[in-house]
Amino acid sequence: MGAGKSAVAAALGERMGASVADLDEMIEAAEGCTVAELFSRAGEPAFREREFQVLQQAIQAQVAVIACGGGVVLDARCRALLEHACRVVWLQVSPAEAARRIGTGAAAALRPLLQGGEPLARLDDLLRVRGPVYESISAVRVTTDGSDAGTIAQDVLAQVRSLA
Identify the architecture of domain 5-156 in CATH. 3-Layer(aba) Sandwich (3.40)
How does pLDDT run across 22-33, given as a tens digit for each residue?
Answer: 999 999 999 999
Q: Say what the alpha-carbon torsion angle 125, 128, 129, 133 is, to the nearest 10 degrees.
A: 150
Is residue 4 over pLDDT 60? yes
Residue 109 has pLDDT above 80, yes or no: no
Give me the residue spans of the domains in the chain: 5-156
Long-range contacts of 33-37 (CB under 8 A, 24+ apart): 34/110, 35/69, 35/110, 35/112, 36/109, 36/110, 36/111, 36/112
Residues in the chain: 164
Q: What is the pTM of this model?
A: 0.89
Helix (H, G, I), strand (E, B) or coil at 21: strand
Give the percent of the chain with pLDDT over 70.
91
